[in-house]
Amino acid sequence: MDQTVYLNRIKYQGTIEANYDCLCNLHRSHVMNIPFEDLDIHFGKKIVLEVDSLFNKIVINKRGGFCYELNYLFYKLLTNIGFDCCMVSSRIKDDEGYGPPFDHMSIIVKLDDIWLVDVGYGDLFIEPIKISTNSIQKDDFKDYKIEKLNDNEFVLLESHKGVHNFIERYIFDCTPRSIEDFFAQCECKQSSADSYFVQNTICTIPTQTGRKTIFNNVYKTKSLSTTTEEIILSNDDLKKILDEVFNIRMI
């Protein structure tokens, strides 16, 4: 993995040191420049959790990816730089409860404090969240807090900024995991008829003032208090929006 090329891909500017300022800037740069997307699933391309394959897809070919792809590649970048970090299992909350172990991949980084890192959720925090249970942490667009469930598990909660109507996003544990631990769920999410990603076409990225999102046949642009929607009528229309808005070219 060519670190310089990766940093250029996320438009990172700054020093490279294993400290909080670097981590924060890397996280923000990654989230703001690489979209969360599940397009390969809908264009019949196999997702393989292998570093060279992911680097070629996301960095060289300027694509995005979903949680396992984005967070695994970011984890490899952090370890190359010298951060003390590990991949951990998370379980996403939905209307039916929490998903299974390895439902989602997050990253924990140990500095003077311990930080939750996640560049692969889709619409979540822009900068790392400190794993602290006594504070509300503010983001560009939302507020977050973490609650402790037991000695090894925590829950991440999210609220609209300043409103504090917190809802649970996911439970994460603190046990270091290997990439192989996520293989089965990664396969399930790209092949099972019950998978959210099989059922829905998604591409989303934050902007300085909001977010741009494709969800199935709707392209939505949100900026401050304004939201606009455009119906996507065909695959050609989809590819045009991907090209012009997200700089993604699907072959």
Find the farthest-apart pair of alpha carbons in the chain and give their distance in angstroms, rounded: 51
172 in a structural domain: yes
Query: What is the per-residue pLDDT across 177-232, written as a single tens digit (0 to 9) for each?
Result: 999 999 999 999 999 999 999 999 999 999 999 999 999 999 999 987 899 999 99
Judge if pTM exceeds 0.85: yes
62 in a structural domain: yes
Q: Residue 192 is encoded by which pair of tokens?
A: 């099972």
Distance CA 59, CA 73 (A): 10
Distance CA 22, CA 114 (A): 15
Measure the CA angle with vertex 10, ends 119 and 8; round to 5°: 150
What is the domain range of residue 70? 3-246
pLDDT above 80 (res 251): no
The CATH number of residue 194's host domain is: 3.30.2140.20
Overall domain count for the chain = 1
Query: What is the per-residue pLDDT across 19-39, written as a single tens digit (0 to 9) for each?
Result: 999 999 999 999 999 999 999
251 in a structural domain: no
Residues sharing a CB contact under 8 Å with residue 61, sequence separation 6 or more, in sequence order: none
pLDDT above 80 (res 83): yes
CB count, 10 Å around CB of 103?
20
